[in-house]
Each structure stands twice: as structure tokens, then as C-alpha cells.
Amino acid sequence: MSITVKIINQSNNPLPEYATASSAGLDLRAFLEAPVTLQSLERTLIPTGLFMELPEGYEAQVRPRSGLAIKQGLTLLNTPGTIDADYRGEIKIIVINLSNEPQTIHSGDRIAQMIIAPYLQVHMLEVTLLTDTTRGSGGFGHTGKS
Ligand SMILES: O=c1ccn([C@H]2C[C@H](O)[C@@H](COP(=O)(O)OP(=O)(O)OP(=O)(O)O)O2)c(=O)[nH]1
């Protein structure tokens, strides 16, 4: 399946790619004029230079990369971020530094991954009674510890 995209400055900002033949996520790169340093617990919006036109019925989920999380404590604050099919703005990534040290992001760094997935829109049909189940309203640990 093809998706129409626009990218700023493609000579040094390549299109997102799948790292391996079966990768689920396309790696997203930071597109920055200068490196950005995040202090411990600081968050910021990192531009990618990427714009997309998703087909109707598809979303993109923006998720953290495990290597960045374990090595640098960098993750995404709103994971998974949702890119709507009708969004035409630049895709930006909300990065937070959960480590104790400052962390620097350079232009071209792969800061997140993006999964394209189908979604359903539903009609909310209101009723006064829902059907009974064994679980009922049990939740939040109701079935035990292990
Ligand atoms: O990590 C993200 C999350 C969202 N977006 C863009 C695409 C998405 O379609 C739009 C709106 O995102 P969302 O619905 O999460 O934002 P909101 O806070 O509900 O704002 P809005 O009222 O604009 O929908 O912002 C990004 O670029 N990166």
C-alpha cells in the first residue's frame, strides 16, 4: 500500500524507512536546525519535516524506540501518539527525557517509530441496560495477583 507524503529538505532528511524487511514501524527522524538538549524530565516537540496524507480509515501510531528508552531514557510522553487521516500538518514528536542526565537530540536521529494501522469509527448506540457478564464491573486486579 502506498501513502502520499511530503518531506522538507529530502537531501538530508530521508523518507522514513522500515529498518528490516519485517519491521512494523517506520523510523522517524528529527529534523532540526540545531541540536536540542533536554534536561532531566524536560519535554519538547521535535519536528520531523514529514507531512502525510493517510487514506480514509487509517491512522498512524507514533511510538518510542526501545533502544533510546533503555540507553538514554528518552521516550514519548503521549505514546502512542495518534496521527489522524485528515491531518495535513507536520508530524511532530513529543519527547521527554526520563533519565537523570541531559540528553541531546541531533538532526537525523531516529527518535520514534510510526505504525500505520486501520481503525473503525463507531456509532454510539445508547441503551439503559447492558448485557450481563461473569466479570460484571470487576476490574483493576479483581481476578487476583498472578
Ligand atoms: O504525537 C503526535 C500526536 C499528534 N500529532 C498531530 C497529528 C494529529 O492528527 C494531530 C492531533 O493530535 P491529537 O488528536 O492527539 O491532539 P489533540 O490534543 O486532541 O488536539 P486536536 O484538538 O487538534 O485534535 O496532531 C503529531 O504530529 N504528533
**Tens digit of each residue's pLDDT (9 = 90 or more) over 86-114:** 999 999 999 999 999 999 999 999 999 99
So what's the ipTM on this one?
Answer: 0.97
pTM for the full model? Answer: 0.93
Residue 146: pLDDT band (50, 70, 90) is confident
Residue 107 falls within a domain, yes or no? yes
Residue 2 pLDDT: 95
Residue 145 falls within a domain, yes or no? no
Cα separation, 51 vs 21, in Å, equals: 24
SS3 assignment for the chain: CCCEEEECCCCCCCCCEECCCCCCCEEEECCCCCCEEECCCCEEEEECCEEEECCCCEEEEEECCHHHHHHHCEEECCCCEEECCCCCCCCEEEEEECCCCCEEECCCCEEEEEEEEECCCCCCCCCCCCCCCCCCCCCCCCCCCC
Give the residue numbers spanning the domain of 25: 4-118
Q: How many domains is the chain built from?
A: 1
> Residue 78 CA: which ligand 1 atom is closest?
1
Residue 131 falls within a domain, yes or no? no
Residue 110 falls within a domain, yes or no? yes
> Residue 87 CA: which ligand 1 atom is closest?
9
Residue 102 falls within a domain, yes or no? yes
Residue 10 pLDDT: 74
Q: Is 82 in the pocket of ligand 1 (CB under 6 A)?
A: yes
Residue 28 falls within a domain, yes or no? yes
Is 131 marked within a binding site? no
Q: Is 28 in the pocket of ligand 1 (CB under 6 A)?
A: no
| Residue 145, phi then psi, degrees to nearest 5 | -80, -40
Classify the phi-psi angles of 22: left when phi > 0, otherwise alpha if psi is within -120 to 50, otherwise beta: alpha
Residue 13 falls within a domain, yes or no? yes
**Tens digit of each residue's pLDDT (9 = 90 or more) over 19-52:** 999 999 999 999 999 999 999 999 999 999 999 9
> Which CATH number fits the domain that encloses residue 92?
2.70.40.10
